[in-house]
Amino acid sequence: MASRYRKRRRKKIQLRQPDVSQTLPETVEAVQPRPSGEAEVFAYNAGALVEVPVTEAGDLKQLVDKWSVTWINVDGTGDTEQVLRLGKLFNLHELAIEDVINLHQRAKVDVYNDQLFIILRMPTWQDGQLHQEQLCIVLGDKFVLTFQEEPGGDSLDPVRDRIRKGFGQIRSAKSDYLVYSIIDAVVDGYFPVIEKIGDLLEELEDEILERFDRRSPANILELKREILNVKRAIWPAREALNLLIRDDLPHIDPHTKIYLRDCYDHVIRIIDLVEQQREMCTDLMDLYLSSASNRMNEVMKVLTMITLIFMPPTLVAGIYGMNFNTEISKWNMPELNWIFGYEFALALMFLSAIVVWAIARLRGWMQDADLRADPTVPAVRGPAATHQTK
């Protein structure tokens, strides 16, 4: 079962930056401890590609000047000094650097001078749980700079493969098309997560229908929290993409906006799927409560039938248990002096119970409700989170 997305505690730290930039903020709020990873560089044009680890600042500047597009991807922002050096090299605004270091930002689009700054939430499903990390994108003239929160798995492998193999127009297009490709890969990364959540919802549905598990409500609420985390991550991305499509922003070609509209459609589709899964969680909770109520009704029906069957024998036993003196009056239970009086009382008790059982049987009160689904009827599931690749 998916576990809760845990936020890391934040701590105020002081950064030393006397020789980096006088305009950078003196203090930033960061998450400690945070892993730092290596950076990778893709420099390419229509006919060639260079893929190298991050080098000295001067070498990066030469790559940006030489190649049509240069993509610097920093995999892990734990090395604050590295982030500050890159910010100094590419003239990043101090607020952009602060957003890179401070995690748990909402998806948004900002314009600083002639650069475009984009923040997205990138979800992945790792080790049976939902994992989200912040992805910051800086679009400048002939370069794209990305900062990932943590090193490790991400959703950008399709972009790397397209660059290496030269698929499509990514190698011949400008840097804004690379930004579109990154956004598209991040948005498409939501679909496997939603599909996994859908599988867990189906498992919960089968668990509720096939057996009564008292842990089901906790599992439903836990999964509902994961769905809410996905919604909080994707909902602001809709407005961010709408801003990229609607406004005249630096370095965004009108031709690229056509592809960004496709990303916007995917975001709307993801939001619809998330809303449907939230409703399905509510329906599953209602189904569990209904099953619990039905189970209680079945127990009460069994106890009621047992009570009803034993009421006539109890009445007979109560009547013959009264202490009347048979010597005073001949009408004071004369059958007590009968040779077959005991056998008569037992037979009367037994026959009365049989009569009540037969009446209940004929009226259908003794039949158990068959709550299992008819195998000849196909099961109806919620909408599957399928996705067709372009």
DSSP string, 3-20: PPPPPPPEEEEE---TTT
Q: Are residues 239 and 326 in the same domain?
A: no
* 73 in a structural domain: yes
Average pLDDT, the chain: 80
Which backbone phi and psi does 175 adopt, to 5 degrees?
Answer: -70, -25
Give the model's pLDDT for residue 219.
87
How far is residue 259 CA from its own chain's centroid? 27
Range of the domain at 111: 10-289
CA distance 264 to 271: 11
Q: Are residues 121 and 236 in the same domain?
A: yes
Q: Are residues 80 and 17 in the same domain?
A: yes
CA distance 98 to 61: 23
pLDDT higher for 104 or 323?
Answer: 104
Q: What is the mean pLDDT of residues 269-295?
A: 90
Domain count of the fold of the chain: 2
Q: Distances in Å between the alpha carbon of 236 and those of 109, 198, 223, 264, 311?
A: 10, 22, 21, 12, 66
Q: Are residues 30 and 99 in the same domain?
A: yes
Contact at 8 Å (CB) between 173 and 144?
Answer: no
Q: Are residues 330 and 195 in the same domain?
A: no
Structure tokens at 202: 């189906």
How far is residue 29 CA from its own chain's centroid? 27
Structure tokens at 21: 């930039």
* 49 in a structural domain: yes
Give the model's pLDDT for residue 36.
53
Give the model's pLDDT for residue 7.
38
Give the model's pLDDT for residue 379.
45
CA distance 267 to 240: 11
3 state SS of 179: helix
